[in-house]
Amino acid sequence: MNLSPLQKARYEYKPKLPGMLRNGVAEICVKEGAATQSVADQEKIQALFPNTYGKPEITFEKGANTAPAKRQVVGVILSGGQAPGGHNVITGLYDALKATNKDNVLLGFKGGPSGLLEDSYIEFTDDFIDSYRNTGGFDIIGSGRTKLETEEQFAIVEEVAKKHGLNAIVIIGGDDSNTNAAVLAEYMAAKNTGIQVIGCPKTIDGDLKNEDIEASFGFDTATKTYSEVIGNIERDANSAKKYWHFVKVMGRSASHVALECALETQPNICLIGEEVAAKKMSLSEITNYIADSVAARAANGDNFGVAIIPEGIVEFVPEFSALIAEINELLAGSKTEEFNALPTWQAKYDFIKAGLTESAFAVFDLLPTGIQQQLFLERDPHGNVQVSLIESEKLFSELVKNELAKRKAAGTYNGKFSALHHFFGYEGRCAFPSNFDADYCYSLGYNACMLILYGYTGYLSKVSNISKPAEEWVAGGMPITKMMNIERRNGADKPVIRKALVELDGKPFQFFAANREKWAVETCFTYPGAIQYYGPSEVCDITTRTLALEKS
């Protein structure tokens, strides 16, 4: 295999563990805290999880290990979208198992949850593990989005686990994956199988966080990767001085990625979906907000700028959500075939106009033709609009272009506006993990092993105090049920982990809000540059601006 110099060097990087995990497995004891309860719907969650609900949070401390000595056979899966650092969760878990007993075994099930159902696996060895240390991606065993949620699936997983003598399964994933981990843990506990289930918090979107989980892994690396490229674009914009760049970034359900990138790069515009929803902003209001910045900068002779748009922004716009709901109703059942059979876009346009309410059509008619057509070209298996496919960066640049044309005709604007578009998504999901994510993920895996040794199930591996140097990090675990509430999904009440949205009264957003008026008019760009792996700790080990502000 041909390796780059950086790849060779990263294989040899030794991740930093929390202080209490550095003395060896034999000197780690456990301290239990008070009993926990779910964030909401306590009675309903307790009824669904009678065997795993209400367990205490725990922390690991220096002291004699009192866990029962026995050979461990553990299975691990990667679930959902890729996030930098996933490989290190597995290497940390592997190293801790082998440090406990060289005869312990770690099996990696391939392709996500389906690997457990299909009994497709690999047994990890030193040589195999060593070739994935501190690297990005999920290619060590692959991932998948199969959900483990039915009794039939659980029975298959139980059968596969017993076949291999597994005493624990570690699920590395986001909120849905860890919800599935909690349900699987309850099943195994109810049947007294002796099979533990442990989760690890992963998502670059940053929405798996709460008072206990300070950050999901991968967010640090992904936002640094996006911020580097946004900084490069800002430098180019300030050099060429003739383009407005509209940059869409990942984050459909929350705007954490957009906010972090804005804190890192200080663009002229950054939309925050949670604010749009709270203020019930219309497409026209958002358009005017951006156009005002374009016009103010043009008055200073600056016909260029950068706007960051979160991927799911349109779903936060109330009038747009109402439009989508009406479209879904309009094309329900056989109406889709009737619509698709119409020979021209004009005929389809007339069909839409006749079928929508006046207010919904007014919003639809505001959209550029290309976006109008996108709403009807791609539909999910249920016949609904796939909002995630809407090119919101192009939507807003076109709306701004049209608004500026009106202002020019009215004599209130005399600048130049040329837009370029970018979408940064996959570029950040498999990047070489930053030192922070390499350390954090390795600690999560090592910590997951400790949870297994001490017999816990239905717990999430937890490492906190992570805004401080790794020596001061605190390792432990929390019951997954503590994060859960009941939500309506597909016509039924489901227990799910509550997504964390951007808090408008939180320090990160407040810092952004206090500075954005200046950033909107002046050129205040900052250039984070590439992720640094070697050098001073204040350069190489820094965490996100979001976490730094939250913990300041």
Cα angle 159, 162, 165 (rounded to 5 degrees) comes to 155
Q: Would the pLDDT of 387 be above 90?
A: no
**What is the pLDDT confidence band of residue 332, given thresholds at 50, 70 and 90?**
confident
Average pLDDT of 175-201? Answer: 96
Asked, for residue 210, whether it belongs to a domain, the answer is yes
Asked, for residue 246, whether it belongs to a domain, the answer is no
Q: How far apart, in Å, are the Cα atoms of 247 and each of 205, 251, 415, 518?
A: 16, 13, 21, 20
- pLDDT digit string (tens) for 276-322? 999 999 999 999 999 999 999 999 999 999 999 999 999 899 999 99
Confidence at residue 244, expressed as pLDDT on a 0 to 100 scale: 98
How many angstroms separate the CA atoms of 392 and 323, rounded? 15
Tokens of 231: 């900084």
Asked, for residue 183, whether it belongs to a domain, the answer is yes
Asked, for residue 346, whether it belongs to a domain, the answer is no
Confidence at residue 381, expressed as pLDDT on a 0 to 100 scale: 60
**What is the pLDDT confidence band of residue 211, given thresholds at 50, 70 and 90?**
confident
Confidence at residue 382, expressed as pLDDT on a 0 to 100 scale: 58
Average pLDDT of 437-455? Answer: 98
Is the pLDDT higher at 389 or at 21?
A: 21
Average pLDDT of 491-500? Answer: 89
By residue range, what is the domain housing residue 72? 17-218+433-489
How many angstroms separate the CA atoms of 167 and 152, rounded? 20
* Count of domains forming the chain: 1
**What positions carry a catalytic annotation?**
205
CATH for 173:
3.40.50.450
- pLDDT digit string (tens) for 9-43? 999 999 999 998 998 889 999 999 999 999 999 99
Asked, for residue 273, whether it belongs to a domain, the answer is no
- The secondary structure of the chain in percent helix, strand, coil, rounded to multiples of 5, reads 45, 15, 35
- pLDDT digit string (tens) for 84-119? 999 999 999 999 999 999 999 999 999 999 999 999
Q: Which residues contact 446 (CB under 8 A, 6 or more apart)?
A: 17, 21, 92, 93, 95, 96, 475
Confidence at residue 379, expressed as pLDDT on a 0 to 100 scale: 66
Cβ proximity of 49 and 182 under 8 Å:
yes
- pLDDT digit string (tens) for 531-544? 999 999 999 999 99
Tokens of 133: 């240390």
What's this model's pTM, rounded to 2 decimal places?
Answer: 0.95
The one-letter amino acid at 62: K
Asked, for residue 506, whether it belongs to a domain, the answer is no
Asked, for residue 290, whether it belongs to a domain, the answer is no
Confidence at residue 135, expressed as pLDDT on a 0 to 100 scale: 96
Cβ proximity of 94 and 125 under 8 Å:
no
Bridge partners (DSSP) listed for residue 217: 202
Asked, for residue 514, whether it belongs to a domain, the answer is no
- pLDDT digit string (tens) for 225-253? 999 999 999 999 999 999 999 999 999 88
**What is the pLDDT confidence band of residue 363, given thresholds at 50, 70 and 90?**
very high
